[in-house]
Amino acid sequence: PSGAVSQAALNRGSEKRGRRHEDSARLVPTVFPIPMPWLLQASINAMATPVNGAPVDANLWSSHEKMLAQPLKDSDVEVYNIIKKESNRQRVGLELIASENFASRAVLEALGSCLTNKYSEGYPGQRYYGGTEFIDELEVLCQKRALQVYGLDPQGWGVNVQPYSGSPANFAVYTALVEPHGRIMGLDLPDGGHLTHGFMTNKKKISATSIFFESMPYKVQVNPDTGYINYDQLEENARLFHPKLIIAGTSCYSRNLDYARLREIADDNGAYLMADMAHISGLVAAGVVPSPFEHCHVVSTTTHKTLRGCRAGMIFYRKGVRSVDPKTGRETRYNLESLINSAVFPGLQGGPHNHAIAGVAVALKQAMTPEFRLYQRQVLANCRALAETLMGLGYKVATGGSDNHLILVDLRSKGTDGGRAEKVLEACSIACNKNTCPGDKSALRPSGLRLGTPALTSRGLLEEDFQKVAHFIHRGWSRAESQSIAQQTVWAERVAGAWTAEQSGPAAGGTWAVASLAGAGIELTLQIQDTVGVKATLKEFTEKLAGAEDHQRAVAALRAEVESFAALFPLPGLPDF
């Protein structure tokens, strides 16, 4: 179009921008009444005109527009390459960290959308920003799906989908329901609880929960050493401690919780019962483990573990009638909604991450499908196979098995600890994490390895595949030098399927490097520990692992087999990564 913008209007716009951004250069191009084909060039030329004494480089402005349109691989090759390397690590490695999973392509696309641009402090219909019509629509949809996936009546339950993750969600619940220095009871971290449930040591309060609130942990049974939660002791301690809130949640506990018993204990002490189902939310959605909603007042969760969404959090809370006086018939109603919502915003957070809410909404829709329920059943079957195989190889698994997606392997009987085993397995492209076991004196030298099956199940591994994974963890290939090559090949085929030496053998000429192995996996951990001594630091242990040629040969051989095996399975996500 032709026509001109008055200089006065341009000046007013310039002054307004100047008030908002006093330290920024103000670009005020002049608009000329000339034909359209020449408008772009004329505008660029006009940018060379000094504005408030500072000349504007037309080429630089054009380059700025190009920067906004460039794909990542052109815009920032360093970050692009780091992401590519991480993508390859995930593709050729075995991901056994119980809190990890592989988000679907649809979830990742929602995360990378224009929704990341929008601020929307407040709640649907009550925002502090304009332009939130579609943000409101999205958040309401996410809330609706969150209630649907767990079979909750909107008259009896509400949900806040704005928490940035699980830890902020938990702290929001504490802020809402427990006054400062009020009393909280959660499962102790060495016994399988989460850091945010109030962890502290004899010398220091570690978690902010234990700093701002009074925390008393409950424990698992130690005599006899079953690894199961000691509900009787919890009940006795609750009578003495009088908690305001009891947390039914775990981070490394492989058995189902007795929510009914926990609710009885909470009611006896006038306490709220909160479930932190972060680890099992996908299993609960699929109906393959007991649901906490029947017994709990509040339920918090992350959305990126077994639920297989993006990194975010949710808080479910009861609504409606809490109790009825049997004499007067007077109803007492829950007031959790206003308490929790105000604790999330404006109490602890600012604007919600709308791109994450979109990713959660997508994951919740997927969680209501028959395919998702099939996946969760397979997660449980794979975990049983992993536990049984490792126990058959002589490992102690806490509680003797698992009801859910994870196991805790206690390495004390093997004479080593989780930190050293984690380092060796990581070098062999097997990712897991060290974890405290009941009775550990320090979280800095935990005795266990936590292993989970959700991520690899998302890639398509089944029970027989997890049996192979267990053997990788144990020692890799057989190191019995007295065995013949034929015997070793039989072992390799039994563990790794129908692979041939020519297909994936790491040694030149297509022969297995089995005979030269000094051991790998947990066995290699023990061998290195024998060399450096049990009192050596983790740093000294790691240096020995990296510096000894024979150990590196063993690691390289196992890593080659692990990566060949892992690469057989597809990696969910975006095609570029």
Active-site positions read: 252, 304
CA atoms within 13 A on the CB side of 31: 11
Query: Kind and range of the H or E element at 210?
Result: helix 208-212
Buried b (16+ CB within 10 A) or exposed e, 212-245: bbbbbbbbbbeeeeebbbbbeebbebbeebebbb
CA torsion, ordered 333, 337, 339, 343, to nearest 10 deg = 170
Q: Take residue 274 and report the two structure tokens written for it.
A: 């909160």
Say if CB 171 and CB 196 are below 8 A apart: yes
Is-contact 564 84, C-beta < 8 A? no
Q: Cα–Cα–Cα angle for 141, 142, 146, nearest 5°?
A: 120
The vertex-200 CA angle with 198 and 204, nearest 5°, equals 140
Neighbours of 283 (CB within 10 A): 25
- C-alpha dist (Å) from residue 226 to 230, 307, 394, 430, 435: 9, 29, 17, 29, 18
**Residue holding tokens 């709308």?**
354
DSSP category for residue 115:
G
Burial of 273 per CB tally in 10 Å (0-12, 13-18, 19+): buried
Q: Is 53 left (phi over 0), alpha (psi -120 to 50) or beta?
A: left
Separation between Cα atoms, residue 324 and residue 73, nearest integer Å: 63
User: In which residue are the tokens 């105000």 written?
Assistant: 342
How many Å apart are CA 132 and CA 245, to the nearest integer? 36
Closest listed residue to residue 217, CA positions, set 234, 231, 203: 234
Residue 70 φ/ψ, nearest 5 degrees = -75, 140
Residue 157, classed as helix, strand or coil, is strand
**Could you tell me if 220 and 227 are in contact, meaning their C-beta atoms sit under 8 angstroms apart?**
yes
59 CB neighbour count, 10 Å cutoff: 10
